[in-house]
Amino acid sequence: MIRAKITGIGMHVPPRVITNHDLEKILDTSDEWITTRTGIKERRIAEEWEKASDLALPAAEEAIKNAGLTSKDIDAVIVATSTPDMTFPSTACFLSDKLGCSKPMAFDISAACSGFIYGLTVGNSFILSGQFKNVLVVGAEVFSRIIDWNDRSTAVIFGDGAGAVVLSKADGDRGILSAAMKSDGSHWGSLYCPVGEKLRMRGRETFKLAIKSMETASKKALNKAGIDLEKISLVIPHQANIRIINALAERLELPEEKVFSNIHKYGNTSAASIPIAMYEAYKEKKFKEGDYILLTAFGGGLTWGAVVLKF
C-alpha cells in the first residue's frame, strides 16, 4: 500500500524570548491573568529583519536532513502561513530558493492556524496520486508583525516560529491514514486580519468554536481511518489556549497526558504550532515510529480539521 509517510521533521524558533513579565511592563495585564486564562508563560519574537522564510529555513533544513535527503530531492514545497514574506512571490518560492531546491512546485497555503494540516492533506494527495515522491510541508509565522501591541486581548497570545516535515512516498502501513478538513466562511468575523492591518479576534466566540470543531473533526478523521481513539498514542492539537486543549481532552474522554501541549513556551504560533509541537513531542519520546497520532487544528476562516497518521 502506497502511503505518504513523515520521514523528517524540524523546527526553529527565534531566540528572543518575551515573557509575561515583559508584557506587564507595556500592557495592562499580568502574568497571573495570562497564565490562568491561556497557559502561556513566554513566546518567541522574530527580529525585524526576519521573515517567515527565514524562520522556515532552519526548520526545513533539519527536516530534509532527518529524512536522509537533500534539497534537490524535494519535488514540492508547501508553506502554510498567514504572515508571508510578501503578497507574492509565495514564501514557498523564497524558501525553496534559500534551500537550493531544484525548481520544485512551490506555493503557500492560507488557512490560518489550520494551514499546516491543510498542507499535509495536499501533500498527501500529491504523493498518493503518483505526482511527487517528496513533499516539504512547512508552517511558518511571524505573527508579531500583525499584532496590535496595544491590544492586550491578542498581544499576549501569539508568537513566532516554524516547523517542517518531509512527506515521502512509502510502501507499507505507516503514513497519513485519513484527513477531515472543513471550513465555514460565515464565521470569518471571529478572527481575521484585513490586508495591511492588524489581527482582530472575538476571543470567547473563537474559544467555543475551537473546541467543538476540533472534537468533531477528530472523531471524523478517526472514523475514516477506522482507528479507535484508544489506539492513539498522542493527540497533538493546535496550541491556542491550554483551556481549549484541556476541554478537548475532556470531550474526547482522554487523560490530559495523552494530549500534548507546549503552549507555555511559545504561545500560539498559528500554522507553525502543530509541527513545532510534533517535533518536541517526538524528541520527548511521547510517541515513536509505528505509533498512531492524531493532529487537529482550527483557525481563522473558520477552517478546521484533523489528520490521523501512523508515524
Return residues touching ligand UT7 (CB under 6 A). Answer: 29, 33-34, 37-38, 113, 152-153, 156, 191, 201, 203-204, 206-207, 210, 240-241, 268, 299
Instruction: Name residues whose C-beta falls within 8 Å of residue 257's C-beta, 6 or more positions apart in sequence.
Output: none
Q: CA dihedral in degrees (165, 170, 172, 178; nearest 10)?
A: 50
Angle formed by the axes of helices 91-99 and 52-66, to 10°? 50
Task: Closer to ligand UT7 by CB, 104 or 115: give it.
Answer: 115
Task: Closer to ligand UT7 by CB, 136 or 211: give it.
Answer: 211
Q: Which three cell numbers stand for residue 212?
A: 467543538
Considering the complex, what minimum distance in angstroms separates the CB of residue 8 from ligand UT7? 26
Catalytic annotation, pick one of 113, 124, 134, 187: 113
CA 121 to chain centre: 13
Task: Closer to ligand UT7 by CB, 153 or 233: give it.
Answer: 153
Task: Closer to ligand UT7 by CB, 19 or 223: give it.
Answer: 19
Task: Closer to ligand UT7 by CB, 178 or 303: give it.
Answer: 303
Question: Nearest to ligand UT7 by Cβ — which residue?
Answer: 203
Edge-to-edge strand ranges of the sheet holding 232-237: 175-183, 303-310, 292-299, 232-237
Considering the complex, what minimum distance in angstroms separates the CB of residue 60 from ligand UT7? 23
**113 noted as active-site residue:** yes
* Burial category of 9 from C-beta neighbours within 10 Å (exposed 0-12, middle 13-18, buried 19 and up): buried
Considering the complex, what minimum distance in angstroms separates the CB of residue 295 from ligand UT7? 14
% helix, strand, coil for the chain, step of 5: 40, 30, 30
Give Dmax (Cα) for the chain: 56
Q: Where are the alpha helices (DSSP H) in 100-241?
A: 115-128, 152-155, 203-225
Considering the complex, what minimum distance in angstroms separates the CB of residue 299 from ligand UT7? 5
**246 noted as active-site residue:** no
Considering the complex, what minimum distance in angstroms separates the CB of residue 34 from ligand UT7? 6
Catalytic annotation, pick one of 12, 187, 238, 241: 238
Nearest CA to 259 among 272, 279, 275, 277? 277
Query: Active-site residues: which are they?
Result: 113, 238, 268
